[in-house]
Structure 1
Amino acid sequence: MLDYDLDKMLFRIPAEKHSAKEITEILEDHPEVQFVSLVGIDIGGHDTDEKIPVKLFLEDIDKVLTNGVQTDGSSVALPLIAELNNAKVDIIPDLGVHWYVDYNFRNRGYKTGLPIGTLRIPSFLVHNEDFEVGSRVILRDALRHFKEELMRELKAHPYVFQYIKGVDSVDDIEELAITSATELEFWVKTPDDKGDREQLFTAQVLKEQYWKRTYGEVRTALEETLMFLDKYGFQVEMGHKEVGGVKARMGNSGHYDHVMEQLEIDWKYADAIQAADNENQVKYVVRDIFTKHGLDVTFMAKPFEGVAGSGEHTHLGLAAKLKNGKTVSLFAPDDFNKDFMNPLGYGALMGVLKNYEVINPFVSSTNDAFNRLKPGYEAPVCIVTSLGRAVDEPSRNRTVLVGLIRDSKNPMSTRFELRAPNPKSNTYLVIAASYLAILDGIKAVLAAGKGPSELEKSLSKKYGDEDFYLERDREYRSEDDVFEDFTEEERNKLFGQAPSTVWQNLTAFDRYPEKLNIFKEGDVMPEIVLESYREQTLSQWRTELHDRIIPQTMDFIRGCKKVHSDDDFSDYDIKNWLEIDKIRHQIAKDTITEKCLLTRAKDALDHSRYDEASDLQLEIQKKVNELAALYITYKKNLL
């Protein structure tokens, strides 16, 4: 139960109130806010946090708003840019977005009785005083480039306005509005509890948790979270249970023990860069409030093997604010009974699909991400879309990479849902890469002068058909279940073979240099920035595999011990144990003549043989899954 008044607390300083005078007045009226932090987002998606006392901040407010604060390359991930011998980095406030207050619920102010707050100011990173870098910079520049180029394209190809309802020419447009939204799925559990894979799987199949009523601490924490998010102005749409989880049990203490549940929170869309900032703040609020109630929160994409992971579907929209005050969708068709989209919508979707090989390294950059992206569990692995079987039958196909969202009663809702991201994806880079690909597709469509019916045929092309933009030996649309109605061989042939590791994903930068060029246009991602991102992602994969995954796998292998008694066993127990022990040795036991899989993987990483390391990672995963299933069978047969 909340025992303080939310109405007395400051939750945000809106973008229109960022003058030194207004900021000073607001902070002086809210003594519960004791600190200020400038939040820069590096190339790896990490955000900076430093506690500046409000009093000191206000004394130097003009200087801080203009020049920010200074850090060095060891504080941020900017490989090949901010190196130890050239490490000066400034963190400069962004005055164009909302600023949010982050509250510490474990620390109350003596005089106010309210939680102590820190004003978090989204900021840009600047290396050596003149090179703006980092994820927020990339997104900002991508949006700027997109708007400038699209306005030029609309002016050069006026034919397209015959397919856009409510706008006759580019002269009617005041400005373009790039809107985005994410949704947050996450798991909560009581500390130290480990999920029983079979119970979780059974509950998922029986749909015992999906959209069901919450209880106990989970309910309280979820309700408090929604209340707080509403105060921030996020316009929360709902919070509910997701598909994963098992029913909690009431303990002797009167509290629910053995909590293991998956939840989702949705909130309203915003301007693209604001949407990414909003998501950051939502995660902090979720974690802090659930932790206050004794619950662990994880935003991992796949916290438990064998059950649904957590996605973070990213919505991509485009509108035009007109000089007459109205706003129109630039993806919606003129006639919903005739077409799925207008040419800009088709071009946007085709751009994402054609260029997804080089978008994917920004979407799925961790080992955890690839644990989720496997056939089944509604996780998209194939580069394919669904529009709907007819214009009056909206798509509900959850097996595709990108879905079209449309509603004839609300044209402004027309948008695309990219389903591959997860809660730990770098949303700034996901959105930036997606819109640069969208621009590429729109340019191609407008240059070809295509209308909606022609573009639907292009998007629905069959393998081997030539097209003005899409690749010949590919298909891009399916209204069928991609996992059930196609074999793996058919999927790979029609939709391209999906990468299975971080390394395989990164190699797309080398395999598709012509596609990579879409990020370099407008100097959005110059070569040094792309190489910095590649190095950061490679280093993270290499280090995590070498120093975390391999040791954890060794611990798991050691835990698969012989447990049957020599006085009470069956021939079936002996058979199972011998097979288990054989696999254990293959994975983790060296001999004089042969090294085990774990040792070979470490050697490959140590000597930068990344193709080999990637292949071995997949072989280890396969063997570990085989071992885990066999060990469960073995233990179940013991009395």
Structure 2
Amino acid sequence: MAALIMNNKDLLYVIKPEEQNESTLRELLTLHPEIQFVSLMGVDFAGNDTDEKIPMKIFLEDIDGFLAGSAAQTDGSSVVLTGIATLNDARVDMKVDKTVNWFVDYNYEHFDAESGRMIGTLRIPCYLIHNGNHVDSRSILNDTLAYVEKEIMDLFAKHPVIAGLEHVNPAEIEKLLFTSATELEFWVKTPREDAPLEALSSSQVMQEQYWQRTRGNVRTALEQTIQTLELYGLEPEMGHKECGGVKGQIDAAGHMTHVMEQLEVDWKFSSGVQTADNELLARIIVKEVFRMNGLEVSFQAKPIPGVAGSGEHTHVGIAAKMKNGKIVNLFSPKDMHKDFLSAVGYGALMGLLKNYEVTNPFISCTIDSLNRLKPGFEAPVCIVTSLGLSPDNPSRNRTILAGLIRDLDNDKATRIEMRSPNPYTNTYIAIAAFYLSCLDGIKACVESGKDLKALEKEISKKAGEEGFYLDTDRQYRTEEDVFEDFTAEERSKLFGEPPATVWENLCAFEKYPEKVAVLTQGNILKKEYIDSFMQGALIRWKTELLTRLIPENYQAVIDMKRLHNQETCTDCDLAMWRKIQNLRAKLAKDSFEEKSIFTAIRRAVAEGDYDTVSKLKVEMGATMEELKTLYHDYKQNIID
């Protein structure tokens, strides 16, 4: 029944830009009376999308007003536009975007009485405007790409011959295409059931799950997800098991229980804002389809400690559409067997790496996201790339941050894979920051006039070697395993110290003003928008620490009860319990002379001393890990 509901090809799923005019809209919506609501979808600085239910009658009565952007407003103080839309200046206008696809969001549990079809809501992407200024993530990405295109075209006009692109005549370029794509990883589980951590960890170490056959309702939901993505025109390419999970069980009634699996779904690349809009839609589809099959989905970056987290690798590329209709990948060199990249490709990769410290806050701005970015499980914690063993021998190093994807049989496939984003990364601002960073490197490399071997030497330089663009004290390329072949000290020295907390990450905006200038070029990702993003992230960090993390840790501490019997306990039991008690007190119990870590964090937050909050948060995490490990060993020794 669910499959018949969700895969009804008679329904309207997409309204394309060429159909977004009054006459065509009236015709389509009249033919589909099951679409009974309209929702204007703006995206704030945290990546949250707005959703409301405007009756279709109201939309049709004032369709001209909606299309002109004068019919809808929202309360900007209720979304993440911190410091911009305030309580006393909260009006935000919503301007419809007619350059992208509009999607119909169907309610799988609510049906139209007359037609028997699911009731739909037409989701119309829009821009948010406050006091005449665009103040939303979609606008930032859209305007950024327009700026980057102009700058690159101006650069090409000044440098008509570019290393590796001698076969491309800049005068014949019609427009640039900013091709990008995301890969969505997520965990799925049976409601109210959790698999033991030991079983999950063991299964991952033994590589029992990666690309294994899915079963039962997980298989059904994955197949229905792919079919639904197809109906919306996302052109899904693959759905498969990821490395995390354990085998589910079947109860006496034939139902799957104890499901805990990690999956990935991929779909075809797109360009510009459409890429990020598609990703939002895909997340909605995944969550709803799996829920219809009795399963919960988590898009958290690190939902289960000690087991692989979920990433959302983001691919970036730049192509040129020529006046004759031909598409040319500007990252690919003329001879792919001789060189890794063109000057544009090398520049893009160098720009991403050099400026990553100020891009990282947009990628990882929550406690959850930084829990994933720790050494192990192929976590991309080091600012470094891998080109491959040689130009004619492409390879994949999964331990680095920025991966070069190449296919010697397809020059259009050359692109850069940023491995740090997660499913809750704001894809709009992330892609904007990526391309602004790329532009900085592209300008440096093209204007240098250096040949491809010199550019390869630049990105391959060792720490301490002076380059014309990259920082002297850093190394930016390795073909080795970052975690196996380098110590933690070597990684920090060569590739930079990764931030341990949200506060440390946000401090990059102040620490690297010259790199912030790269992101604010063109005055699109304005300094005030960065400040707003930072304030919002800081509020969420403090709130999560005080209202979620500390209470969860406190509950874990008080749940660690004494288990040994005084008559049968051993000296080992007594020694471990003393250590456990000391750690419990250090975390949660105050004295007149000394305050616990929990209390110290609360006080530091109240005083606005975020450096101390950050240090204490790291100490709390390390102490909790030590306590959990010790209590686990203590329980294992109890046989009463």
The answer to whether the aligner puts 1:118 opposite 2:121 as a matched pair is: yes
Contact residue 82 and residue 88 of structure 1 kept, 8 A: yes
Deviation at 1:222, TM superposition (A): 0.8
Residue number in structure 2 paired with 1:26: 28
Task: For 1:57, give the aligned amino acid.
Answer: F
Match of 1:59 among 38, 58, 61: 61
CA distance in 2, matches of 1:587, 1:403: 40
Contact residue 346 and residue 455 of structure 1 kept, 8 A: yes
Contact residue 195 and residue 304 of structure 1 kept, 8 A: no
CA distance in 2, matches of 1:394, 1:573: 55
CA distance in 1, matches of 2:90, 2:607: 28
Helix, strand or coil at the partner of 1:118: strand
Contact residue 36 and residue 120 of structure 1 kept, 8 A: yes
Deviation at 1:556, TM superposition (A): 1.0
Helix, strand or coil at the partner of 1:3: helix
Contact residue 338 and residue 392 of structure 2 kept, 8 A: no
The alignment's TM-score, normalised by the length of structure 2, stands at: 0.98
The answer to whether the aligner puts 1:75 opposite 2:81 as a matched pair is: no
Helix, strand or coil at the partner of 1:516: helix
Helix, strand or coil at the partner of 1:7: coil
Residue number in structure 2 paired with 1:477: 477
Deviation at 1:471, TM superposition (A): 0.5
Helix, strand or coil at the partner of 1:391: coil
Deviation at 1:207, TM superposition (A): 1.2
Task: For 1:38, give the aligned amino acid.
Answer: L
Match of 1:152 among 139, 145, 154: 154
CA distance in 1, matches of 2:43, 2:448: 39
Residue number in structure 1 paired with 2:417: 417
CA distance in 2, matches of 1:165, 1:240: 40
Contact residue 560 and residue 631 of structure 1 kept, 8 A: yes
Per-residue CA shift, 1:13-70, capped at 9, x if unaligned? 0122111111111111112211110000011111111101112211111101112411
CA distance in 1, matches of 2:18, 2:109: 31
Match of 2:110 among 88, 103, 107: 107
Contact residue 187 and residue 263 of structure 1 kept, 8 A: yes
Contact residue 11 and residue 101 of structure 1 kept, 8 A: yes
Residue number in structure 2 paired with 1:164: 165
Contact residue 387 and residue 403 of structure 1 kept, 8 A: yes
Contact residue 138 and residue 432 of structure 1 kept, 8 A: yes
CA distance in 1, matches of 2:613, 2:417: 33
Task: For 1:378, give the aligned amino acid.
Answer: E
CA distance in 2, matches of 1:69, 1:430: 28
Contact residue 172 and residue 323 of structure 1 kept, 8 A: yes
The gaps in structure 1 that reach 5 residues or longer are none
Helix, strand or coil at the partner of 2:520: helix
Deviation at 1:166, TM superposition (A): 4.6
CA distance in 2, matches of 1:546, 1:51: 34
Per-residue CA shift, 1:481-529, capped at 9, x if unaligned? 0000000111111111111111000000000001101122111122211
Helix, strand or coil at the partner of 2:328: strand
The answer to whether the aligner puts 1:463 opposite 2:463 as a matched pair is: yes
Per-residue CA shift, 1:150-180, capped at 9, x if unaligned? 10011111120x522652x211100000011
| Structural RMSD (CA) | 1.1
CA distance in 2, matches of 1:324, 1:163: 21
Matches within 5 A, 1:342-381: 342-381=342-381
Residue number in structure 2 paired with 1:38: 40
Deviation at 1:209, TM superposition (A): 1.1
Residue number in structure 1 paired with 2:602: 602
Contact residue 241 and residue 264 of structure 2 kept, 8 A: yes
Helix, strand or coil at the partner of 2:317: strand
Task: For 2:274, give the aligned amino acid.
Answer: Q
Per-residue CA shift, 1:546-580, capped at 9, x if unaligned? 22111111111111111223344322222222211
Residue number in structure 2 paired with 1:139: 141
Task: For 1:63, give the aligned amino acid.
Answer: G
Residue number in structure 2 paired with 1:286: 286
CA distance in 2, matches of 1:567, 1:273: 68
Task: For 1:474, give the aligned amino acid.
Answer: R
Per-residue CA shift, 1:419-473, capped at 9, x if unaligned? 0000010000110000000000001111111221110000000111111100101
Percent identity, aligned pairs only, is 51
CA distance in 1, matches of 2:171, 2:613: 55
Deviation at 1:194, TM superposition (A): 2.5
Per-residue CA shift, 1:294-323, capped at 9, x if unaligned? 111100000000010000000001100000
Residue number in structure 1 paired with 2:389: 389
Residue number in structure 1 paired with 2:624: 624
Deviation at 1:390, TM superposition (A): 0.7
Matches within 5 A, 1:577-588: 577-588=577-588
Task: For 1:22, give the aligned amino acid.
Answer: T
Helix, strand or coil at the partner of 1:485: coil
Residue number in structure 2 paired with 1:210: 210
The answer to whether the aligner puts 1:330 opposite 2:330 as a matched pair is: yes
The answer to whether the aligner puts 1:179 opposite 2:179 as a matched pair is: yes
Matches within 5 A, 1:258-269: 258-269=258-269
Deviation at 1:112, TM superposition (A): 2.2
Task: For 1:119, give the aligned amino acid.
Answer: L
Helix, strand or coil at the partner of 1:276: helix
CA distance in 1, matches of 2:451, 2:376: 35
Contact residue 41 and residue 51 of structure 2 kept, 8 A: yes
Residue number in structure 2 paired with 1:227: 227
The gaps in structure 2 that reach 5 residues or longer are none
The answer to whether the aligner puts 1:14 opposite 2:16 as a matched pair is: yes
CA distance in 2, matches of 1:549, 1:189: 22
Give structure 1 regions of 4+ aligned residues with deviation exceeding 6 angstroms. Answer: none
Per-residue CA shift, 1:195-237, capped at 9, x if unaligned? 3111100000111111111111111111111110110010100
Contact residue 195 and residue 259 of structure 2 kept, 8 A: no
Helix, strand or coil at the partner of 1:38: strand
Helix, strand or coil at the partner of 1:6: coil
CA distance in 1, matches of 2:401, 2:208: 27
Q: Which moved more, 1:522-531 or 1:457-466?
A: 522-531
Task: For 2:81, give the aligned amino acid.
Answer: L
Helix, strand or coil at the partner of 1:483: coil
CA distance in 2, matches of 1:507, 1:328: 39
Helix, strand or coil at the partner of 1:262: strand
Task: For 1:69, give the aligned amino acid.
Answer: A
CA distance in 2, matches of 1:555, 1:69: 45
Task: For 2:76, give the aligned amino acid.
Answer: G
Deviation at 1:324, TM superposition (A): 0.7
Contact residue 242 and residue 264 of structure 1 kept, 8 A: yes
**1:84–1:104 Cα change, 3 Å:** same
Helix, strand or coil at the partner of 1:90: strand
Task: For 1:53, give the aligned amino acid.
Answer: P
Deviation at 1:110, TM superposition (A): 2.0
Contact residue 159 and residue 449 of structure 1 kept, 8 A: no
